[in-house]
Structure formats: C-alpha cells, structure tokens
Amino acid sequence: MDTLACEIAVLVKDERWHETSGLEGLCARALKAIQYVAKTAPFGELSLAFVDDAEIQLLNRDYRGQDKPTNVLS
C-alpha cells in the first residue's frame, strides 16, 4: 500500500480520559481503520475528541438531532 497522507488530531477535553488504560491503543486502531479505507482515498483526516457526557450530548444534539449522550459520534 502507498503511504497514507493523513492529518491526525487528538483532543482530550475531559481529564478522566488520561486515567483510561488503552487510550493510545484505541487511537492506533482508529488510524489502522483509516489506513484500510485509504485503499480508495489517498488522503484522510482523523479527529478524535475525548469528552465528557455533557459535551457529547451537545454534539449529538447539534449534529445528529439526538439530545442524549452516546459513546461514539462519527
């Protein structure tokens, strides 16, 4: 596979995420998923935001029309 040009942004907005084991591994798995998809997309962007329930609820409300917290917003 050709080298993937990918911009990666990781934002930890809730300090409790720093206490979570495996956070670095989660980011690595997300990047591998991007690389798999990149077979058809030569450039990608990966943004990971680790937030609290209140912030994810706002994001869900604003972008998905669902006023509730979830564990993933894609």
pLDDT single digits (tens) 43-66 = 677 788 999 999 999 999 999 999
How does strand 43-50 pair with strand 5-12? parallel
Given this model, what pLDDT does residue 14 score?
93
pTM: 0.71
Domain limits, the chain: 5-64
Whether 58 contacts 66, CB under 8 Å: no
- The model's confidence at residue 3, banded by pLDDT at 50, 70 and 90, is low
Q: Is the pLDDT of residue 40 over 70?
A: no
Quick one: 21 exposed, middle or buried, by C-beta within 10 A (0-12, 13-18, 19+)? exposed
CA angle 25, 46, 6 (to 5 degrees): 100
